[in-house]
Amino acid sequence: MNDKGEVCGIENAHKLSEDIPNKVVSFLGIVAEVNLLNKEGKDYIEIDVVPSNVPISYKGKYYVRSGSTLQELNGAALQNFVLKKMGRSWDDMVHERATIDDLDREAIDYFLRKGIEAGRLDPSEANAPTATVLQNLHLMDEEGHLKNAALLLFCKTPGRFFTGTEFKIGRFHTDVADLSSQEMIECSIIQMADRVVWMLKDKFLTMPIHYEGLQRIETLEVPEDALREILYNAICHKDYTGVHIQMKVYNDRVTLWNQGELPAGFDMNVLLREHASRPRNKNIADAFFKAGFSIWNTNNGFLGQAHD
């Protein structure tokens, strides 16, 4: 058929109706329904393929359409494509080598304390066993294997298992060529915002002094609530198959960058109006919310689930 939907006809229709199903199976590994049809004395073929919920390879390789070109997928891009097709996120994958002994109980106690203070966890959970906490957060599978999210959230040094889990801070004066000092922070990501804020107060930002009556007040030069909110976003929604988070502190501004991209179909116009929350790391986002680290906004859902 041509682009106008008119039947032009084909030759060797019967042979093609046999060859095409065999080649589809051989090259793609799927079964397609091939129907031989006729209109006004002209033979044509209809190929009917049922949508698949798993990626289909062509000669063992995977491709995706990008504009007018065909791009081969491999490495992290292929992994993310497969997970997306299966409706899963990277943080939901099981890590076969990790055990519950790799987790830091101090980080788990910190999570429980914050969640109880925020009213999002019951006080009776204050001393819950580690395994119970993980099960309640859906961070273990039925065989007791830990998911990637469990290691990022509660492992003292998640860099033992993944790359790019650190938080790098640099102090600059005028531009990126004028670096005066830097620090690298590595810890469980549930505690990372606290560690970053402490480091900023200790080394990178000033706390101007003023008085209210006789009381001496020291306030961080950057509003701390806003600072923590952008930190929670950057940590929670980072693509943890990429490189570390980077914060740059200048004389007049603070910038923050993390690895990631907007969800498919999202752009700035979507983000600035009412929209559904689509966190990249669903398990991590859930833990951050239960710890009280997300702020509810009636227009746009969780501000703590915006993507960087």
For residue 233, give both structure tokens.
């976003």
Q: Does one domain contain both 127 and 268?
A: yes
Please state the pTM of the whole predicted model. Answer: 0.73
CATH number of the domain encompassing residue 129: 3.30.565.60
- Residue 218 in domain: yes
pLDDT at site 294: 67
pLDDT at site 189: 96
**Which of 90, 120, 142 is the endpoint of a domain?**
90
Instruction: Name the stretches of the chain with pLDDT < 50.
Output: 295-308
Buried b (16+ CB within 10 A) or exposed e, 224-262: eeebbbbbbbbbbbbbbbebbbbbbbeeeebebebbbee
pLDDT at site 297: 38
**Which of 68, 90, 112 is the endpoint of a domain?**
90
For residue 143, give both structure tokens.
């065989």
**Which of 90, 125, 146 is the endpoint of a domain?**
90
Burial class of residue 65 in the structure, from the number of CB atoms within 10 Å of its CB (0-12 exposed, 13-18 middle, 19+ buried): exposed
Q: Using only C-alpha atoms, what is the Rg of the chain?
A: 26
Residue 82: count of CB within 10 angstroms of its CB: 14
3-state SS, residue 296? strand
Q: Does one domain contain both 67 and 163?
A: no
pLDDT tens profile 58-85: 888 888 887 888 888 887 777 777 777 7
3-state SS, residue 229? helix
- Whether the CB-CB separation of 82 and 55 falls below 8 Å is answered with yes
Q: CA nearest 258: which of 280, 235, 279?
A: 235
User: Length of the chain, please?
Assistant: 308
Dihedral class, residue 247 (left if φ above 0, else alpha if ψ from -120 to 50, else beta): beta
- Whether the CB-CB separation of 228 and 194 falls below 8 Å is answered with no
Q: Under 8 Å CB-to-CB from 217, ≥6 apart: which residues?
A: 209, 210, 211
Q: Does one domain contain both 66 and 163?
A: no
Q: Does one domain contain both 59 and 198?
A: no
Q: Does one domain contain both 70 and 168?
A: no
Q: Under 8 Å CB-to-CB from 228, ≥6 apart: which residues?
A: 193, 197, 293
CA distances to 52, 120, 303 from 156, rounded to whole Å, are 40, 24, 27
Q: Does one domain contain both 133 and 255?
A: yes
Q: Does one domain contain both 184 and 74?
A: no
- Residue 143 in domain: yes
Q: Does one domain contain both 68 and 123?
A: no
- Residue 2 in domain: no
pLDDT tens profile 144-201: 999 999 999 999 999 999 989 999 999 998 888 888 999 999 999 999 999 999 999 9
How many angstroms separate the CA atoms of 21 and 27, rounded?
10
Q: Does one domain contain both 33 and 156?
A: no
Burial class of residue 264 in the structure, from the number of CB atoms within 10 Å of its CB (0-12 exposed, 13-18 middle, 19+ buried): exposed
For 69, the domain range is 13-90
Q: How many folded domains does the chain comprise?
A: 2
Q: Does one domain contain both 133 and 36?
A: no
For residue 179, give both structure tokens.
């670096």
Q: Does one domain contain both 39 and 164?
A: no
Q: CA nearest 103: which of 139, 136, 138?
A: 139
- Residue 3 in domain: no
